[in-house]
Structure 1
Amino acid sequence: MKIPKFLSNNIVLKITSLNAVVITIRLVLSAFVQRLLAVTVGEAGYASIGQIRNLLAMLTATSTLGTFSGLVKYVAEFKQDQSELTKIFSTVSCFLLMGSIGSAAVLFFGATFLSDYLFNSQDYIYLFQLLAVIVPFIGIGRVVNAVVSGLSDYKKYAKIELISYLLATIALVIGLYISDLTGILIAISIAPVIQLIVLAVVFGKTLQKYVHFKTLKLRLVYKNKLLAFTLMSFVSTFLLNYVELDIRTMVAEKINVNEAGYWTAVTFISKNYMVFATGLFTLYVLPKFASINGKVEFKSEVINIYKTILPIFALGMLIVYLLRDYIIKFIFPDFIGMEPLFKWQLMGDFVRLSSLVLAHQFLAKRLVKSFIFTEIISLGLFFGLTQLFIPYFGTEGVVIAHLVRYILYFVIVVVVIKAYFNKASTA
């Protein structure tokens, strides 16, 4: 049977389909691992795992001073211009060096404070000192990942994601077997090193075609352009994960640590299927929006993306909701307190996905003020609404705040983008 032209020519669908295979395998593995974790470390241990994962997400931004999205944009624009690529990578090397040294210093010398702040214990000082050593690997891996995304090499991206996840899962199971929660936290911490090794094996030869390491010099030719992305990344990645850390601590203190574990488990499920969209954003949406200048073309592309991915996500989220009791029973035994959180989290994630497609225009066009304005409002809404709702709804208040936040965020992003195109048309 002949495949309709719309389907055969739809690059969004191709990336989404390939991503779906990777995510499905990840979900199966994740279900097995999360059950082990839930049974072994319980709700309180799960909350601790959430803390270290948020910290790692923050380090992906600080280790490169937040240049990931900028590098994706400029690699997509100048992939045929070796001279410009050399200038870009020379600047990124400086940012990587400064970000890695700064992050490592904070982790190493602030290990006691961080262990107390994140885990309410000094038993994990060694973990932050280990992360201080790992930070450069996180930064280098982030830079290489940006090149993969900028080239829209979605086949290699899928292969890297799958192999990395398989190896990281094996490391996590070994860590769990050897030393319970301590082993798990160490395994999660070394996952970026595993991914970097996979990147080198799968993408090393391709990388050498675009990055001529011998010609790189520590020059800041692109510093002003990349600093804009540093600011945006600080807000979207660093502050976002800081807010999540703070909310988890708030739930543990105002209710109890088990409730913090329930919320962490639900957000972990959410992050697993949102990875499905992350690949699409970095491989397709960001490079595509960077090449679009007109309002009509932008609107047409957004509609194309929505028509392709929103029905798939809606169906997937509906299935997750209908199977929520089975998910809890088989993956998170005894985490019964999760059940009321599902509906709000899933609805919030659907609106979030719709919003993030539009918001990538800010990154693509380097609209720093618009991006920071909308992100700070979004984070402020989440934190403020959570504080407001927790006394009335308990942990459910966090996910209700998540939904309300993204409904308001979507409206704000639409208004800001309309204002941008109106201003551009009159200029």
Structure 2
Amino acid sequence: MTARGFIIAAPRSGSGKTTVTLGLLTALARRGFRVRAAKSGPDYIDPAFHAAASGAPGLNLDSFAMPPALIAALAGEAAGAADLLVIEASMGLFDGIVGEAGRTGAAADLAARLGLPVVLVMDISGQSQSAAAVARGFALHDPAVRIAGVILNKVASERHRTQASDAIAATGLAVLGALPREAAMSLPERHLGLVQAVEHEGLEAHFDRLAAAVEAHVDLDALVALAVTPALPDLTHNSPAVPPPGQRIALARDVAFSFAYEHLVAGWRGAGAEILPFSPLADEAPDGSCDAVWLPGGYPELHAGRLADASRFLEGVRAVAQDRPVHGECGGFMVLGEGLEDAEGTLHPMLGLLGHTTSFAKRRLNLGYRRAVTRAPSALGPAGTAFRGHEFHYASVTQPGDDAALVDLADGQGKPLGAGGSRRGRVSGTFFHVIATE
């Protein structure tokens, strides 16, 4: 059975997409629908909330970083195990990079490729009838993208709702709901986005509030009725997005190391690899029988003191690094270095398997899509392996060390950014998050 689906998008970030999506997922799951959610673009945090609300694993679909065959395979697998597929956009519906048509990273690419209707969430605070002009502009902007309806958000009063909804309805667009302005519906945030789902106290109660608001103010029957079966080509994609670095992969997994993409780990399992999770914050060492260690990104800067004191973790990873591959992405890369300076300026010793030192006290935003080609064999694969992914962090390198570079980097449009990452023996790391091979 293949699920029907739709995309929740918005004109811009901060419109309430995630709030609406979580309320919808919770409400639909409670109605008995098997719901699968996906996030458009690179994002670790929202898919974890999707999973908690829907009861099914989160997923990312990224038109820039994933080849079309991989998107089709992932969407098809998700749709095959659900009744409804709900995709949440990132930023604005058409926001992406300028480049190859259909591979900009925008949610509009997915709408066009999969043939899914778009529901536009509109924050109408500070406007009323003018919202109709915005909605009409989005509906006419790209003939390949169909806006099927609108959900109004942050509605101040009944008069406010009537003025905006009547004006939008006059353009021919359906108004599927109107959510009142309610500050308590917001989730707490930190420097890379929302506070992680596993850290959120009272998450189920919050989902209850979101679902109650959606059930009271959104026409769920109309929303389900507009969903369509995604247009999936008749093809298979049997290769993992990224080849597994070994057959038995010790994967760091806790609130300090939570940024591992579901499609990547599932692809490793599908290729026959065994995943051996361990918690550095609980001072657990990687399984001694592993043949590779993967340290994903996360928030090690918030737990640097505990990690510096986690002797079993530190000694266990150092032991593996003597004769087996160890790789770190972003936060994992920071922990592989000599030291990590926290926000208060305290320098904590880390694994020392690479020579750099990083600082969260000296913050500098690094954000954007990346292309990378490996310079030498590593846990990422043989020399010359090309990847697409992204970079998103505030840490800066205060001491670069003298290790060899791991990759040659370019931005999403192919502009060279120079060498990136580090490698020493079987150890490698980079701030770059891998999403898929070219």
TM-score, length-normalised on structure 1?
Answer: 0.28
Bigger relative contact order, structure 1 or 2 (CA pairs below 8 A, ≥6 apart):
1
TM-score, length-normalised on structure 2?
Answer: 0.28
Structure 1 or 2: more helix by fraction: 1
Structure 1 or 2: more strand by fraction: 2
* Greater Rg by CA: 2
